[in-house]
A and B are shown apart, each in its own frame.
Chain A
């Protein structure tokens, strides 16, 4: 049977609003699924854990001078979320954000998908 790569599994989870994490079988440390060795203890054995892609905005920017391909979305936000369910953080693209007051630090947000703009976040 064809087995999805770790990154492809991570993307499929993001499309469902979840974060695919790997829990170290030795020390319990949580990582994003794209890590192959535990950053805490070096162990290679993990068990997958699907986390809800919901969290709190810890920082963000509103981008007005975009890289190629993002002109049609500008202005937009790029934000870092602290996940509610763990110590992990996740960052991503957030559409329709024009000014900093649209997205105060501490706002609740969640993952709503994954496309050519990477992880897509939305304010709740």
Chain B
């Protein structure tokens, strides 16, 4: 198996964007190519992650991107795995480079939905659930995670204020990220006083609907060394699945796919959770970050809330979680998110993260899932 590296990364700002889905996909790709210092013709394939291209009248994005990069003859494909599309596309690209099929590939994730409004996005996002049992019965995504939140708060005697602290922390980080969608600091009172979306979750427990695109260049180590000294290695990659519907799970305070993916990624990397210096995790809702950090092995079951209270997950804490601001503050353009997490790890490990740099970090982890964690991918990266 070839050693796989990330040699370039780029992102548009996340938020409400005016340009078309095709334009932002190309913009992010060009940024990644330029940051890698390579020529587009050196790219052998394109992996595009996207869920609702239909909302901006463009599916089959790959050939549009490749044509605009001046390489229309190169193969491409689109990958959809709900909110986990980005990390799943990254994994497929990783497997193809590791397997020796390609020396260098482009992975770009994108979403453009904010122009459709809250009702459209709430409705269409619900199609990512096991629709027969969930979306059809009126379960929105906030509603599904709210059901997990109620189970967690009940089982571990945690409070809604505890969840609010996750939002406050991620907004503190996102405030330092020029590309973040919600770039403002908030307080626990702001969260507690925001409108209830699906009890017990309130508006500020939820990530925003965002537009945005993120892109990375993956290659084998020989290619990386020929082009740059500024690259990072992918040392672990794992994937897992969970029952599609929440009713199929006996415990709602854990996400099985995260544990399966993390175990595989840690095994490939030959490390333990305690060796990770920081992580970008899937905090689509505040409760998700609590559950994720336990499932990833950073904290024991039921103890993540205490860790948040003690500041362990803050930028200067023992295991900084979501230095980018996470989905909560940086934003969640669903097809782009998993790739955006890799962009953050690349920036952190190559000295491009500015004010939000995690001190002395060598190993970063990304964790991204689709829907309520029905599909998941975990990746581990190391600086060179």
Interface residues of A (CB under 8 A from B): 7, 34, 58-70, 73, 76, 78-80, 87-93, 99-100, 105, 116-119
Contact = CB atoms under 8 A, between A and B. Distances in A.
Contacts of B250: 87, 89
Given A61-B199, A80-B147, A80-B246, A67 B137 contact: no
B248 A61 contact: no
A45 to B, nearest CB: 21
Interface of B: 118-120, 122-123, 126, 132-140, 142-144, 146-148, 150-151, 154, 195-201, 245-248, 250, 252
Contacts of A88: 247
Nearest to A95: B138
Task: Decide if the interface of chain B is mainly helix, strand, loop or mixed.
Answer: helix
Contacts of A99: 199
Contact of B138 (A66, A80, A90): A66
Contacts of B150: 59-61, 100, 105
Nearest to B206: A65
Which A-B residue pairs are the 4 nearest by beta carbons? A118-B137, A61-B146, A118-B136, A93-B137
A119 B137 contact: yes
Contacts of B146: 61
B136 A117 contact: yes
B230 to A, nearest CB: 44
Given A63-B138, A70-B138, A91 B246 contact: yes
B123 A78 contact: no
B198 A61 contact: yes
Given A59-B151, A91-B246, 16 more contacts: A61-B142, A63-B138, A63-B142, A63-B197, A64-B199, A67-B123, A68-B123, A69-B123, A78-B147, A80-B247, A88-B247, A89-B247, A91-B139, A91-B245, A100-B150, A100-B200
